[in-house]
Amino acid sequence: MLVLITGSSTYAFSLMLALYVAGVSLGSFWLAGKVARLRAPADAFAHLEIGAALLVSPGCGCSHASPTGSSSSTAPGVRPSTPGW
C-alpha cells in the first residue's frame, strides 16, 4: 500500500525498512533503562521467551491442514503420488 503513496515499490520498500529499523532502535533505547533496573535480566528474558512460545504454540501445525478439515495436502479428488505406483 505504500506504493500508492510513494509511487515506486523501491521507495516503498526503503521506507518500510527504515521505519522498521527505527522502531527497533527506539524500542531498544526505551527498554535499555528498564532492563538495567532489573535484578535478574536473564530471568526476565526467559519469561519473555516462554510467553512468546506460548503465544505461537496454538498456531503450530495448522498451516498444513486443508480447508475441508482433512490432513491431506493434495487437492480434493487428486490422488496423492505413492512411491512404487
Question: What pLDDT does residue 49 have?
Answer: 94
pLDDT (tens digit per residue) in 1-24:
667 777 778 888 888 899 999 999
- The pLDDT of residue 77 is 62
9-10-14-17 Cα dihedral, nearest 10 degrees: 60
- The full set of domain ranges for the chain reads 1-38
pLDDT bin (cut points 50, 70, 90) of residue 57 is confident
- pLDDT per residue as tens digits for the range 27-52: 999 988 888 888 898 998 899 899 99
Q: What is the pTM of this model?
A: 0.47
